[in-house]
Amino acid sequence: MALQKDVRIKNRKARFEYEILDTYDAGIVLRGTEIKAIREGKASIAESFCEFSNGELFIINMTIQEYSHSSSFSHNPKSERKLLLTKRELKKLEKEVKNVGLTIIPLLLYTNERGLAKVKIALARGKKQYDKRETLKERDTKRTLSRIKKSFNN
């Protein structure tokens, strides 16, 4: 499999499950062949979340599959990985999570122009069931309107 120039792995459920309040771009501490596997597109952030441990932020449950051309010394696909943010951002996020009860979720795993892996994380509040139904209703309405416009223009 060829390496991709621009990697963009989305957490598609995030915007449906959570109300996004604020977003941050964070670097990731990777070991060994993890960056090569990410460049191959073999990563998933669908079930992952972020947690504080000793004042540092870690991404939990992020899956990076083994690199196809690696030897037997490969990485653990589900290990927790440290996220890199400024001290001010870390303090603000930790305060929000502890006091207000919000959660931090990854929205997008991507590579920047220098080829470094970054993750866009969001400070979010979980949606209630009726909020999710409202989102589905809005999406359905938009789809219907675009269908009507399309048929009207033809």
The string of DSSP codes covering 49-101 is EEEEETTEEEEES-EEPPPTT--S----TT--EEEE--HHHHHHHHHIIIII-
The enclosing domain of 84 has a CATH number of: 2.40.280.10
- pLDDT for 106: 94
Domain annotation covers residue 120: yes
How many structural domains comprise the chain?
A: 1
Domain annotation covers residue 95: yes
With a pLDDT cut of 70, the percent of the chain lying above it is 92
Residues 30 and 81 sit within 8 Å (Cβ to Cβ): yes
Instruction: Report the predicted TM-score, pTM, of the whole model to 2 decimal places.
Output: 0.78
Domain annotation covers residue 152: no
Domain annotation covers residue 154: no
* Range 51-62 average pLDDT: 91
Q: Which residue has the higher pLDDT, 1 or 45?
A: 45
Q: Is the pLDDT of residue 4 over 60?
A: no
Domain that holds residue 53: 8-127
Domain annotation covers residue 136: no
Domain annotation covers residue 53: yes
- pLDDT for 3: 56
Domain annotation covers residue 147: no
Domain annotation covers residue 85: yes
Q: Which residue has the higher pLDDT, 81 or 70?
A: 81
